[in-house]
Structure 1
């Protein structure tokens, strides 16, 4: 990532956003329709934003646009789709949107993703609150020269803020949405995992597996942004369900649960935004 590219990105977005975002929403496979609920929306295709990676093809379930506006009274910038390492991008490319939106004022990030269930008892359609992760991508966007304003050695003992997770559990109980906490394993992809790899991940302590999220969280924590992650279990991981894995199944289950997930995010968003502001005021 060149300094000029992020400067151009920030300048471009600042000209087009009517208000500074407080929170970033990163919407995963099949979950992007949540961005349609944003009020007073400004929609910008990724391909129009300087510095953003240029896709050679669109991915199903990833609309590929940035949507800024208000959701539940909170100024947000939603990534309707995201960039993945398996597309061939460098970790800094995947993390550039987080860095740019933080420079515009965002202090909180809520991420969603589609994941394969490893924990016994998981079924397609379950929602898992990310309590921790295992980076099996073996890539880190913080490698190299430290970006101004970022920690060289960020603390990752609470990557998905424990206060945010308590709020998410409270909202889930109020809405009667089943929600469990678990550990997310991030693999490089794009091939799905083998049964032997899933057995390995289970022994390492993973409850679910996917191909995203961790690069964005690493950069967010280095910046000082607080994160909350929610995985939609769209399929049972290889060797656990007896069926072939397919992206079509991911999309179908994502569409089936998006209303529950949207309700959870809408309930959580104003509370975590308020908690973040209160903690800053106390400091």
Structure 2
């Protein structure tokens, strides 16, 4: 076998072994202990920022920030609009940890890497996770700049066997077969919608179903029509794997999508989606999102269901 062919075979073997192995409990524990030893903050709430929404992290007071590249076992964020920093601090009186940027399977990461931070959060004492994303509006009543509180999701990659819980189950995190019928906390959803009304932008508030796809391409017109027929109100390329892992380990979840573009569902429409449009829409509507999350935090009660 020639040297180049042997090297290619070795790389392929290493890739398959990595995909099979995943993280061990000790890996999660090591990262959690590394973080706790470098900050006095003990967050009970984690915020995951989607594309263009990382400004939430800048609002934290008494910050202690880490680059993803410096944290043991953390993947690196490669997507424009994702700063790649983990920030500890206080937001409106609540101890928080904020991910400025997340990880995606389309970056080449297996789902056990995409969701790695969630279990680390569990080990450092987080009880509630707020996941945010930029999404395309499938519901024709939605407008760019609307905020959709996620009431349920459709996990399209899961239909093809892509799930972050695949592999041996670690009972220290959660059960083998976790239910997802209560993935998004009803109480937190109700509070979020009420706060939107109190802040005077109830016309921007929606409640709907988020559909997750693998990406990185934006959807075809036929795919958008299909997903809308299935009952999806918004579509994106993230969030669901993190929610599955969060619920698996007993964390309470609030999910919100910023509608940054309207999905093209008419063949006579020559418009196309692009990431620059997504980032600009996020920038334009960030103040609403930031006010909503900041006002929400003091009303989040301790989650006594975390085991």
Does TM, normalized by the shorter one, top 0.5?
Answer: yes
Between the aligned partners of 1:245 and 1:65, the Cα distance in structure 2 is 27
- CA shift, 1:47, in A, is 0.5
Q: Which of the numbers 180, 186, 192 marks the counterpart of 1:168?
A: 192
CA RMSD of aligned residues (A): 1.6
Q: CA offsets, 1:211-234, max 9 Å, x none?
A: 000000000001010000110000
Q: CA offsets, 1:114-173, max 9 Å, x none?
A: 000000121111110100000012221111111223121111111110010111111111
User: SS state of the match for residue 142, structure 2?
Assistant: coil
Q: CA offsets, 1:237-281, max 9 Å, x none?
A: 133564111100000000000000000001111212x2x35x569
- In structure 1, the residue matched to 2:146 is 126
Tell me, which stretches of 5 or more residues in structure 2 are unaligned? 1-21
Between the aligned partners of 2:63 and 2:41, the Cα distance in structure 1 is 11
- In structure 1, the residue matched to 2:271 is 243
Between the aligned partners of 1:187 and 1:105, the Cα distance in structure 2 is 30
User: SS state of the match for residue 184, structure 1?
Assistant: strand
Between the two proteins, the alignment pairs up a number of residues equal to 277
Q: Which of the numbers 122, 135, 145 marks the counterpart of 2:168?
A: 145
User: SS state of the match for residue 246, structure 2?
Assistant: helix
Between the aligned partners of 2:76 and 2:259, the Cα distance in structure 1 is 29
Q: Which of the numbers 191, 203, 213 marks the counterpart of 2:217?
A: 191
- In structure 2, the residue matched to 1:136 is 156
Between the aligned partners of 1:203 and 1:17, the Cα distance in structure 2 is 48
Q: Does 1:206 align with 2:232?
A: yes
- Greater Cα shift, 157-166 or 145-154: 145-154
Q: Does 1:96 align with 2:119?
A: no
Between the aligned partners of 2:93 and 2:154, the Cα distance in structure 1 is 34
User: SS state of the match for residue 217, structure 2?
Assistant: coil
Between the aligned partners of 1:32 and 1:16, the Cα distance in structure 2 is 22
Q: Which of the numbers 22, 25, 33 marks the counterpart of 2:55?
A: 33
- In structure 1, the residue matched to 2:14 is none
Asked if 1 retains the 8 angstrom alpha-carbon contact of 2:149 and 2:207, the reply is: yes
Between the aligned partners of 1:89 and 1:118, the Cα distance in structure 2 is 27
User: SS state of the match for residue 181, structure 2?
Assistant: coil
Between the aligned partners of 2:238 and 2:305, the Cα distance in structure 1 is 29
Q: Compare CA radii of gyration and give the structure with the larger one.
A: 2
Structure-2-length-normalised TM-score: 0.87
Runs of 4+ off more than 6 Å: none
- In structure 2, the residue matched to 1:48 is 70
- In structure 1, the residue matched to 2:298 is 270
- Greater Cα shift, 136-145 or 192-201: 136-145
Structure-1-length-normalised TM-score: 0.94
Asked if 1 retains the 8 angstrom alpha-carbon contact of 2:234 and 2:259, the reply is: yes
Asked if 1 retains the 8 angstrom alpha-carbon contact of 2:76 and 2:84, the reply is: no
